[in-house]
Structure 1
Amino acid sequence: MATTLAPQASVDDLRRQSWIRRRDLLATNGVWVALIGLVLFNVVATRGFVSVQTLQTNLGQMATVGICAVGLTLVMATGGIDLSVGSLMAVAGASAGVLVLAAPAVLDVPVLGLVLVVLTGMAAAAVLGAVNGYLVGHLRIQPIVATLVVMITARGIAQMVTSGRLYTVENDSVVWLGRGSILGLPVMAWVMLVVVVVASWVARRTVLGRRIVAVGGNETAAALAGIPVRRTITTVYVVAAALAGLAALLSVGVNGTVDTANLGLGYEFTVISAVVVGGTALTGGRPRIWGSIAGVALLQLLGFTLASHDVAKEVASLVQAAVIVAAVTTQLRRRR
């Protein structure tokens, strides 16, 4: 019985499809591969890397960026961007700091005091997050322009609230939030873990998560399908702002001060970099929450590694920039 050979074109198509699948798999999980590789390098080449202190240090430094990255991941999944993250942190810190000074007696109650401080900071930031959402979702202003306006405004509001002064925060609950530990790990790291788990569940299992994916995939089609596009966009900006407020309180707890001139300064670029490296597309689509945390971990560990091996800060910045460019290039190739 004669054997029929597949046309060469079909064989080439199969090979191309196989290559595309491998490329997409690498693009999706590349950040994890890079992170594991960097960890293994440090285990072998970095003295004292395998220690509880190293783990605590890196997790503590990841926490605030990681929490902000979760919120920004949801924003970017809708096709937006948020440049106001750092300034929203300043507003949250200023609001919480004023509350600590205005009502010290109430805040001395351990649980109640901490809850009030956290809710105050998150609510103050969320209000400005709603402004972001209104400008982008309702007035249709470009996200980069709208959030730039809020970034400038929020920093000014924060400095007006504190009159440009540095406030010392001595509330035990707030300090514990930034410096305390549970089961040997920083409280900040546990807070980040809770935020990541909840956000991942929301993105995968809830109506809001499906709406975010739909809006980021094709906003026009989502609107025609009856999805409340404006409400969805506003919601993600509010959530991102509230999480920035939470991150601000962790930072205040670590430093024991509220310095609105420097709190959150430059965070927006660090957070955006981590989310991009984590695989969430700048053009919108599925939010990769865990990927963003892996991106935060990769950039944090990369900085730690370079510093541990006495690499000049200028060179370290170039290496981190190269990692970001590689991540964006991979995304663009994948979309093609």
Structure 2
Amino acid sequence: MKRKNKIQIGNVIIKRSTGVAMILVLLILGLRAPLFFQPENIMTVLKQSGVLVMTALSITAVLIPGGFDMGAGALVQLTCNIAAGLILSGLNPALTWFAGLGIGLFFGLVNACLVVYIKIPTFVATLGTMYLMTGLTALYNGGKALTMKLIVSFQMLGQGEILGFPVIFIVVLLFCIGLNYFFKRTRTGLRMYACGENKNAAAIHGIDSGRCIILGYAISGALLGFTGVLQCSYNYGASAVDYGMDFLIKALASAYLGSTFSKTSELSMFGTMISGIFIAALSNVMVINGFSNQIVSGVLGVVLILSILLTVIKKRDIGQVTIF
């Protein structure tokens, strides 16, 4: 009986290995820096995770139907700069949200057209648009930071609090719930999942993979555009530093690491959100422990590799092959 119980406990640990590993890592590093567990710092982590999680949710939306987007971080930076510039020029801050959504949707559809109609491989197509958006950002800001004065109504989403909880975290949680419902509870969302799992099998059942991928890029692009304006609200403007690739790595790590919560490595919005918060917490606790930014970036790269490796292993265990 004892041996049977030990086996059952062992199976539970293996199935929950991702969550267990996350907790252990944060506990080990947190014990070296007790400040990490202070309530104020926990709220800071939730606030810092907001833009990262939104970016990760956005890229998950395009990964689900089988797409890919190298330019996710670049689009966030572009819309962040445009939002800051429009506000500095005197535009009503409320209108920047529509501008961000529109610009994001436009580039999402551009990616979709390149991939679906022109048949350019997703990596190549989105790599091209990534460099295009990076160039447009540099041209727009002239290599200078666009810093705004305090606008309470605009900064509320990025820096405000409700009952001690960051508004940005509440907003991201609502988006996560809405996206999870769409992909898991609606016919269209389930078809997008089916397309991402096996396009040929989906086609046999009458599912148009092209439409699913276009919709995925459209949703992802619009969300990334919104995320850019959210970043502008959080940062009181836009930085001249190119952080597009850093955002991309963190977002991909969040999406793939989140998929390891599932037995079949199925991408999920809640898994992505939990992993995004973990990555933000990991960065936070490493900084508190005195690690340099270079080391933090290296660790995040390792997290990305391990998350993809775990996904591949789980896919092989159930007879599926992952082509990345």
Q: What band does the TM-score fall into relative to the shorter chain?
A: 0.7 to 0.9
Alpha-carbon distance in 2 for matches of 1:189, 1:45: 27
User: Could you tell me which of 295, 320, 326 is aligned with 2:306?
Assistant: 326
CA distance in 1, matches of 2:131, 2:299: 30
Give the aligned partner of residue 186 of structure 1: 166
Matched, 1:52 2:39: yes
The alpha-carbon distance between structure 1 residues 327 and 186, as it changes in their structure 2 partners (threshold 3 A), is same
| 1:169 correspondence with 2:148 | yes
* SS of structure 1 residue aligned to 2:119: coil
Contact 2:55 2:73 in 1 (8 A): no
- Counterpart in the other structure of 1:80: 67
Q: Give the Å deviation of 1:44.
A: 4.7
Where do 1:74-113 residues align within 5 Å? Answer: 74-104=61-91, 107=92, 113=93
Q: Which amino acid aligns with 2:147?
A: T
Q: Which runs of 5+ in 2 are unaligned?
A: 317-324
1:157-306 → structure 2 map (5 Å cutoff)? 157-170=136-149, 171-259=151-239, 262=242, 264=244, 266-279=246-259, 286-306=266-286
Q: Matches of 1:168 and 1:315 in 2, distance apart?
A: 29
> Against the structure 1 CA distance between its residues 168 and 326, is the aligned structure 2 distance closer, same or farther, given a 3 Å change threshold?
closer
After the TM superposition, which of the residue ranges 159-168 and 198-207 deviates more from structure 2? Answer: 159-168
Code of the residue aligned with 1:85 in structure 2: it is A
Q: Distance in 2 between matches of 1:91 and 1:321?
A: 24
- Letter of the structure 2 residue corresponding to residue 186 of structure 1: P
Distance in 2, Cα, partners of 1:279 & 1:229: 21
Q: Which moves more between the two structures, 123-132 or 239-248?
A: 239-248
RMSD of equivalent CA atoms: 2.8
2:109 aligned with 1:122, yes or no?
A: no
> Does the residue aligned with 1:61 lie in a helix, a strand or coil?
helix
Counterpart of 1:154 in structure 2 is: 133
- CA pair 158-307 structure 1, distance change in 2 beyond 3 A: closer
Identity of aligned residues (%): 24
Query: Which amino acid in the other structure matches residue 254 of structure 1?
Result: Y
Greater Cα shift, 319-328 or 240-249: 319-328
Distance (Å, rounded) in 2 between the aligned partners of 1:75 and 1:117? 24
Q: Provide Cα deviations, 1:83-124, integer angstroms capped at 9, x if missing partner.
A: 1112111231233234323444xx2xxxxx42x221211211
* Cα distance change on mapping 1:102 and 1:309 into 2, 3 Å: closer
Letter of the 1:298 counterpart: F
Contact kept, 8 Å, 1:181 with 1:187, in 2: the verdict is yes
Assess if the C-alpha contact under 8 Å between 1:77 and 1:285 holds in 2. no
Of structures 1 and 2, the larger Rg is shown by 1
Task: Pick closer, same or farther for the CA change 1:145–1:246 going to 2, 3 Å.
Answer: same
Distance 2:182 2:255 in 1: 17
**Helix, strand or coil at the partner of 1:82:** coil
Q: Is the 8 A contact 1:273 1:324 kept in 2?
A: yes
Aligned residues of 2:249 and 2:301 also touching (Cα < 8 A): no
CA distance in 1, matches of 2:106, 2:148: 23
Count, aligned residues: 307
Query: Is the contact made by 1:278 and 1:293 (CA closer than 8 Å) also made in structure 2?
Result: yes
Alignment partner, residue 122 of structure 2: 143
Distance in 1, matches of 2:70 and 2:226, equals 17
Letter in 2 for 1:96: A
Assess if the C-alpha contact under 8 Å between 1:31 and 1:291 holds in 2.
Answer: no
Q: Aligned partners of 2:274, 2:281: CA distance in 1, in Å?
A: 10
Residues 23-80 of structure 1: CA deviation (Å, up to 9, x unaligned): 9x845x4332223334544665531333231112101111101001111112122222
Q: Give deviations 1:112-138, integer Å, cap 9, x for gaps.
A: x42x22121121111001111111122
**In 2, Cα distance between equivalents of 1:293 and 1:81:** 18
- Cα displacement (A) at 1:320: 3.6
**Counterparts of 1:321 and 1:162 in 2: how far apart (Å)?**
29
SS at the partner of 1:80? coil
Is the contact between residue 249 and residue 304 of structure 2 (CA under 8 Å) also seen in structure 1? no
Q: 1:120 to 1:260 in 2, by over 3 A?
A: farther
Q: Aligned partners of 1:163 and 1:43: how far apart in 2? A: 41
